[in-house]
Structure 1
Amino acid sequence: MPEGHTLRRLAVRLTDAFAGHPVRVSSPQGRFEAEARLLDGTVLERADSAGKHLFVELAGERVVHVHLGLIGAFDVVEGPAPAPVGAVRLRLERGGAHPTYADLRGAIVCDLVTPEEAAAVRARLGPDPLRADADPDRAWQRIRRSERSIGDLLMDQAVVAGVGNVYRAEVLFRQRIHPLRPGRRLTRAQFRAVWDDLVLLMAEGVRTGRIDTVRPEHTPEVMGRDPRRDDHGGEVYVYRRQGQPCWVCGSRIRTETLNGRNSFWCPRCQRRPRQDAGRTR
């Protein structure tokens, strides 16, 4: 599932391509056809994101709420729109001197909602490290009282919005925190270090379009190692590196299922505190 930086990049791309222009709105697949007819010819005002949710705002207080889910994609392409290929749920088109189109496929949510309904979706989410208006204390107040593991809490979109499996694994490694440590056993300083690191890493993901988490001294160029080869891309410390040596200490990276998702960590760099041993997840 795309992580929060992907949705923020998409919001910026859609805003840059369509904001201030009337857009042709259609639903080649047909599942959004009635809504598309209502929106066709409306000026697109902006696109925004909150966590893994996208909101395309159009004139007349109309908002298209999108959640890509596991396989969704919203491709923005410069040039005249060709005949649609595949199950295109929503197509946006801009004409004129700089024609552009955007095709949405595979999303689990594509709904026309009111601003109030969009606000209700946002209200259910935890603070988003990519948003300037985020209040990290909201997340801290939930984490500090919880017996759930920090690895579980970071993936709960009602606690912290936009963090997925990659950022979860990598930020905990960078802060030397075992993913199974109960939230209430984190100090406020540890949580703040995790939050600040997420702000840094996810903003870099928006800038580059990939997740790179290794520090300068652990890059392939400095270490004289081969770049990572993975369909995910990006240089990482532990994510999908089970059985491989840690770039910092040389220990073998481990993995274990945590609430249905694979969790990755280094047993030496992220030692589980003795008081946490034997606790349930």
Structure 2
Amino acid sequence: MTADQSPPGTSFAALHHRPGEPLLLPNAWDHASAAALAARGFAAIATSSLAVAAAVGLPDGEARTREHTLRLALTLGSEPYHLTVDAEGGFSDDPEEVAGTARELWAVGAVGVNLEDGLGPSDLLAAKIAAVKAAVPGMFVNARTDTYWSGDGDERDTLRRLDAYQQAGADGVFVPGLTDPAGIAGLVRRLDTPLNILHSSAGPTVAHLADLGVARISLGSLLYRRALGAALDAMADIAAGRAPGGTTPSYDEVRAPERSVSVSRSANSTG
């Protein structure tokens, strides 16, 4: 139970139902990054499928990182924050196998899972969602459609897919790549479940997304890619005889990050 005695899944779901205060969800890739983010007050942490795959030298989105994802969830699931896991398409086209993965994630402490359609058949992802909700009713299922991420942004197809996922039992829906304010507001009005949008420098600010009615704002792989970029920039500075810029956590902070993680699962600050 959480500090407020609510089941973890229920507490996490509640973070998606705060009008004007969307869940700002950072994506971590290991214990250190998750602990550092939690220490800054984020009540929920997600994983990034790209980061998990890249860290072990595998491609993202090809269902090859199931065991690596489960291993990371095992590392993070017992920590004092809500954990939701990016599981690509569930690592299988068999809904029962996807449900089995959800059971394993729930067993190690994850309270949410992100499942994507990859522009495949909507009825397949709907079947996966239904199987997960039947197997783990308390798991928050965020259903992602890639119509804007890798498709042509067809509004009718997007709505058709999202409707199928809502009917299958999805607790929230995710449309990465959608950055048009009018399009976002239109989806919010037509959906029955919370809308998740991927933060983009080309899109609305966090405050604007809140005004539009977005319930959840994900960072995706941005933090991981920024971390890689910071490492490259630091090496370029050092090679040129300059002191590296940016924030550098101390050795002790990285060595024992749990000392600074004080946010509880029921906390609301910054996330």
Task: Please give the TM-score of this superposition, normalised by the length of structure 1.
Answer: 0.28
Structure having the larger proportion of residues in helix: 2
Of the two, which has the highest radius of gyration?
1
Structure with greater strand percent: 1
TM-score (norm 2): 0.29
**Which structure carries more relative contact order (alpha carbon 8 Å, separation 6+)?**
2
